[in-house]
Structure 1
Amino acid sequence: MAKQHKRLAAAQVESVWLDLAGGVEKTKQLIKEAKAQGADVLGLPELWLPGYPWYLWTLPYGATVPYTLQYQANSMACDGPEMAAIQAACAEASLTLSFGFSEKRGESLYMSNAIITADGKLASLRRKWKPTGLERVIFGEAHSSDDCFHNVVDVTSVGKLGNLQCWEHLLPLLKYNTFLQNEDVHISSWPPIFPHGGLEHYGMSYQGIKSIAATYAMEGQSFTAMSTGLVSAEGAKKIGLDYALTGGSPPPGSFALPPGGGYATIFGPDGRQLTKDLDPAKEGFVFADIDRTLTSLAKQLADPVGHYARPDLVTLSVKGSKAAPLPTKVAHEGKDIDAASKSSDDTLFVQ
């Protein structure tokens, strides 16, 4: 008998630090494990491959150079054999996967996310709008709307699946652009996250990030899988978090406090938490059924792109031909024209 609902999985897992080949093999194994536990959709963390570059936040620039050279060498091309291997694993398991990776294009790096459907198709490839803080030392930003705003795809029997990375969830216009694409399921991808230490921005802590993800679910009425990385004591030594080098204690104001960082959670379309927390220092998955009845109940009261919107008063303007997620025609200088016929430099006005 077929399952009544598709099953969503969020992961808290440790990257194979600075090792692309090892990371691809672990990805293939996680796909098998999640599928064996009944998952139809799996979300993996931001920069899952080859791991989040913590050293940018903890070391002086000169000390980061050897790490960055290794990081660059283990970043992934979007059309290379590593991506093909992950696509094949998704097809073999019949599982849809969203995962973050450091995309290498020439000698430049981008914080990218891929969605691969259960037939092995690379359905979405997008870059982070703008790297946050010290991430900008090594990563470029999205170049156009086509590699940033087109972030929701139709997944057979699941619905519309989208993704944002980390603090992109604090950008109201980017979130609204995502809502406009009628997203049903959202992968909220994060690096390892830790309890608030008292000095850092609250939005960098587990407590703040959990609130951000729950609010996203409530605002967009989407099932929201918050997937995070994890750092073991051994892994900390490989990525610039070995505080033994500074006397055994983290520097004042540190917001990375390994071992730990795993806080996978799934929220329902009204913002409620549907899963129980795991041990933050242990790898694992959390699961929830995608029951569309819960979506309908949430949208009855507050649909921000439907009956709860006021497009006669407020609209969103987005650059680029792929950025018009709903209408086939747009208003431009008083005339209706086909969205597909507009150049990427024009502005689209959408609800």
Structure 2
Amino acid sequence: MAPVKVASVQAASVAYDLHASVAKLLPLVKEAAQAGARLAVFPEAYLGAYPRHLDFKIGARTDENREWFSRYVKAAVKIPDGAEGVAWLSANEEDIGEDGDFWAFQQLCKAARDNKINLSVGIIERSLVGATLWCSNVLISDGGVLLSKHRKLQPTAAERIVWSQGHVTNEPGLPNSGLAHTDNLAVAPTSIGKIGGLICWENFMPLARYALYQKGVEIYTAPTADGRPTWTPLLQSIAQEGRCFVVSANQYHGTTDFPSDYPANISRAGGAKEDVWCRGGSSIVDPLGNILAGPLWDKEGILYADIDIDTIIGAKLDFDPVGHYARSDILSLQIKQ
């Protein structure tokens, strides 16, 4: 396979405003595609918002808490049942207006198809009935087909108050979908290689990482909300451990990316209006742990790197996590179905 260009998009969403966030995403997708990228990776919770500083207290809920949760749910993305692996957009393109349940999902599929680029996008996903939320990541092919949807297995710390846990895997596949099942730890074949990934601190979960290695991941996506310098060494470790390319994207955001009446903005009244809440730190790493692009700090921007999937085989000369280093005679990983 010839080398391809991939992009890590470091940009803030328009928090709690789904339509405005989609409107910001679309030109970024076009920019990456026009630069020659075949894959664009967007940050964790890009559509919906990462609810930084939202003060849901354990053991106490106020009317204000409930109002902000309601706004958060309304800004979340609904994904149609059975959309994975099928030409959902072609069958529904003319049926969904801006007020439709699946409008945002439709826009992602159209952006990927129209720009001929694979898209990895962090979303806040809403249940089709009720108001359950998941921190999810969708992978959409350059033909506009949803290849996988991953729900974060274990939200971290206060995330657990507003995000539900993702179940491991394996719901029955739909007839004629080409998929035996839907997989919450999927590694999907694409036009540029096998793509899979985990969200933020899931990447500290050794068994979850190994599940992706076992499935042959070649391009590992790691969208995050962790804006600390300690994030980059983790990406280098994953790249070396999995012998894969790692593309990580984070938001660079602060007070002005959130509504003016957002609780954290109000509590900082009189302070610096441009307070930075996340510095970014997006980067792209090769299978030997070398940083190809980034980390990008303290501004929005798009990182690019040319990657060659064929080099992965050579990188496994001295270490193959699911081959001669797996020691399957004494160690094994069982994923519950």
- Distance (Å, rounded) in 2 between the aligned partners of 1:245 and 1:61: 22
- What letter matches 1:242 in structure 2? N
Partners of 1:150 and 1:58 in 2: CA distance: 29
2:154 corresponds to 1:154: no
- Contiguous gaps of at least 5 residues in structure 1: 195-205, 250-256, 321-351
Higher helix share: 1
CA distance 1:286–1:125, shift in 2 (3 Å): same
- In the alignment, is residue 128 of structure 1 matched against residue 152 of structure 2? yes
Matched residue SS, 1:53: coil
- Residue number among 121, 141, 145 corresponding to 2:169 in the alignment: 145
Matches within 5 A, 1:276-295: 276-278=294-296, 280-295=297-312
Residue type matched to 2:114 in 1? Answer: E
Please report how far the alpha carbon of residue 57 of structure 1 lies from its aligned counterpart in structure 2 after TM superposition: 5.9
Identity of aligned residues (%): 28
Give the match's secondary structure for 1:189: coil
Aligned-pair CA distance for 1:66: 2.7
Aligned ranges 1:43-58 → 2 under 5 Å: 43-56=41-54
TM-score under structure 2 length normalisation: 0.82
8 Å Cα contact 2:279/2:299 also seen in 1: no
Q: 1:247 deviation in Å?
A: 6.8
Aligned counterpart, 1:9: 7
Q: Deviations over 1:176-231 (max 9, x none)?
A: 0011011000110012x44xxxxxxxxxxx22211211111111011101100111
Q: How much does 1:242 deviate?
A: 2.6
2:67 match: 66
SS at match of 1:270: coil
* 1:245 equivalenced with 2:268 (yes/no): yes
In structure 1, which of residues 253, 271, 287 is the aligned counterpart of residue 289 of structure 2?
Answer: 271
Q: Distance in 2 between matches of 1:49 and 1:218?
A: 30
Out of 221, 224, 232, which is 1:210 matched to?
Answer: 232
Q: Hey, what does 1:175 align to over in structure 2? A: 209
Q: 2: distance between equivalents of 1:55 and 1:66?
A: 15
Query: 2:156 is matched by which residue type in structure 1?
Result: T
**In structure 1, C-alpha distance between the alignment counterparts of 2:61 and 2:8, rounded to whole Å:** 34
Q: Which has the higher contact order (CA 8 A, sep 6+)?
A: 2
Tell me the residue number matched to 2:179.
none
Q: Which one is further off, 50-59 or 167-176?
A: 50-59
- Tell me if structure 2 keeps the 8 A contact 1:232–1:281: no
Contact conserved, 2:221 with 2:247, CA < 8 A, in 1? yes
- The alpha carbon displacement at 1:259 in A equals 5.4
For the residue of structure 1 that corresponds to 2:139, the secondary structure is strand
Counterpart Cα distance in 2 of 1:312 and 1:301:
19
Deviates more, 1:57-66 or 1:225-234: 57-66
Give me the whole-angstrom Cα distance separating, in 2, the residues matched to 1:262 and 1:54: 14
Preserved contact between residue 58 and residue 241 of structure 1 (Cα < 8 Å):
no
1:334 maps to which residue? Answer: none
Which shows bigger deviation, 287-296 or 15-24?
Answer: 287-296
Unpaired segments ≥5 residues, structure 2: 81-101, 171-181
> Which amino acid letter does the alignment assign opposite residue 188 of structure 1?
A
2:40 corresponds in structure 1 to 42
Q: Among residues 290, 315, 318, which one is paired with 2:332 in the alignment?
A: 315
Q: How many residues align?
A: 298
Q: Distance in 1 between matches of 2:11 and 2:293?
A: 17
Query: 1:136, CA displacement in angstroms?
Result: 0.9
Whether the aligned pair in 2 keeps the contact of 1:189 and 1:226 (CA below 8 Å) is yes
Contact preservation (8 Å) 2:8, 2:247: yes
| Deviation for aligned residue 1:95 | 0.2
- 1:144 to partner: Cα distance: 3.9
| Superposition deviation, residue 125 in structure 1 | 1.0
Look up the SS of the partner of 2:291 in the other structure. Answer: coil
Distance of 1:121 and 1:208 partners within structure 2: 35
Please list the CA deviations of residues 227-278 of structure 1 after superposition, one character each: whole Å capped at 9, or x if unmatched: 00111441256554437537748xxxxxxx6155221100000111111443
Q: TM-score, normalised by structure 1?
A: 0.79
Aligned partner of 1:93 in structure 2 is 115
Q: Which amino acid aligns with 1:10?
A: S
RMSD between superposed Cα atoms in Å: 2.3
- State the secondary structure of the residue aligned to 1:140: coil
Q: 1:300 aligns with which of 317, 320, 331?
A: 317
Q: 1:24 matched to which residue of 2?
A: 22
1:77 has 2:78 as partner: yes
Q: For the Cα contact (< 8 Å) 1:149–1:178, is it kept in 2?
A: no
CA deviation after TM superposition for structure 1 residue 116, in Å: 0.2
